[in-house]
Amino acid sequence: MTIILGLESSCDETAAALVTAEGKILAHRLAMQEEAHRPYGGVVPEIAARAHVEALSPLIEAALEDANLTLDQVDVIAATAGPGLIGGVMVGLVTGKALAHAANKPLVAVNHLEGHALSPRLADPSLQFPYLLLLVSGGHCQLLHVRGPGNYARLATTIDDASGEAFDKTAKLLGVGYPGGPAVEQAAAKGNAKAVPLPRPLVGTAEPHFSFAGLKSAVMRAAQSGKYSTEDIAASFQQAVIDCLIDRTERQLAAHQGMTALVVAGGVAANQSIRAALQALAARHDLPFVAPPLWLCTDNAAMIAWAGAERYAAGLIDDLTVPARPRWPL
């Protein structure tokens, strides 16, 4: 049995997890930094990096204890090497390097996006390559043709804001709380999605990309007009995002035959209305719809350990000179 220790520290979650090469999750531990960042309404890189330093080692020990394992019994160390906030990425990667060196284990430097991209296969082992992945997180909004570990084609990306960023900025504008995505979703549940006329940037156009900046400005004007309730703006905003995501995703489904499934991953995939709309889209195209459970959608270390497992199985290991990369496209 091959056991992989995964470490994640690229944003505001510190996490350690142990999974097997067969996809069994032996332990997963996570520390959120929400409280530390709440006063600022967003993640403060310096605060995040310091918090990772404090949290990571105890989380690794706790995960090993949960799984009743010692470091010697771990076969592979996988750590996020980017993209993300460089201070945090360095904490996890350097910790991973130190463990790999001390215990004489192979190191796999994982692209955080690959962690999200492969996480659906941890959740559903029957999911086969290639699949169409909508990756929607705080920093990204992409459509990827996932062909295998290390083998991706980016079909579309955002030309301005990421979808999660749009949720976070809307939450700040509406004053509904932090973190933004879940707060907007909650407010939206009590509102009317047709109440506020908002744009659907790039919908129906021939180019494949996403855009959310214009939507954000329109939300700001709606909020400032004083004509609408917070709940109605939240619901209308969420519906506009859904319409953009569905239109762009459908375009790629129509253009690419042979995909085994429509898959969604990343923090925004925790949104129930977005999941429901994607599920309906997949059904219209006679495709299975795969979405990881909510805890696997937002940042965690099990997905990093799993990406490490897939890369290791494909012979993709790294040496101890591998750099931390704040920007690192898949």
Instruction: Give me the residues that bind Zn ion (CB under 5 A), please.
Output: 137, 299
The whole-angstrom separation of Cα 48 and Cα 27 is: 23
The entry of ligand KG4, Zn ion, none that residue 88 binds, CB within 5 to 8 Å by partner kind: none
Q: CB of 305: closest distance to Zn ion in angstroms? A: 15
Stretch that binds ligand KG4, among 96-104, 124-132, 149-157, 176-184 (CB under 6 A): 176-184
Of residues 136 and 281, the one with the C-beta less far from ligand KG4: 136
User: Do 113 and 274 contact (CB within 8 A), yes or no?
Assistant: no
Structure tokens at 3: 């056991």
The entry of Zn ion, ligand KG4, none that residue 268 binds, CB within 5 to 8 Å by partner kind: ligand KG4
Of residues 41 and 214, the one with the C-beta less far from ligand KG4: 41
- DSSP secondary structure, 46-73, as one string: HHHHHHHHHHHHHHHHHHHHHTT--GGG
Angle ∠(217,299,215) on CA atoms, nearest 5 = 10
Q: One symbol per residue from 195 to 234: x for binding ligand KG4 (CB under 6 A), - otherwise; what is it?
A: ----------------------------------------
Stretch that binds ligand KG4, among 27-35, 59-67, 174-182, 256-264 (CB under 6 A): 174-182
The whole-angstrom separation of Cα 285 and Cα 138 is: 28
User: Do 291 and 263 contact (CB within 8 A), yes or no?
Assistant: yes
Q: CB of 283: closest distance to Zn ion in angstroms? A: 27
> From the CB of residue 289, how many other CB atoms can be counted at a distance below 10 Å?
17
Among 3, 5, 7, 11, binds ligand KG4 (CB under 6 A): 11
What is the largest distance, in Å, between two alpha-carbon atoms of the chain?
64
User: Do 158 and 141 contact (CB within 8 A), yes or no?
Assistant: yes
Stretch that binds ligand KG4, among 103-111, 219-227, 246-254, 262-270 (CB under 6 A): 262-270
Q: One symbol per residue from 131 to 160: x for binding ligand KG4 (CB under 6 A), - otherwise; what is it?
A: ------xxx---------------------
The entry of Zn ion, ligand KG4, none that residue 309 binds, CB within 5 to 8 Å by partner kind: none
Q: Which are the contacts of 243, defined by CB distance < 8 A and separation ≥ 6? A: 200, 203
User: Do 8 and 83 contact (CB within 8 A), yes or no?
Assistant: no
User: Do 166 and 153 contact (CB within 8 A), yes or no?
Assistant: no
Q: Which residues pair with 110 in a beta bridge?
A: 80
Q: CB of 139: closest distance to ligand KG4 in angstroms? A: 5
Q: How far is CA 73 from the centre of its chain?
A: 29
Site for ligand KG4 in 268-297 (CB under 6 A): 268, 270-271
Output the known binding site for Fe cation.
112, 116, 299
Of residues 64 and 174, the one with the C-beta less far from ligand KG4: 174
**Residue ranges that bind ligand KG4, judged by CB under 6 A:** 11, 137-139, 164, 167-168, 179-182, 185, 266-268, 270-271, 298-299
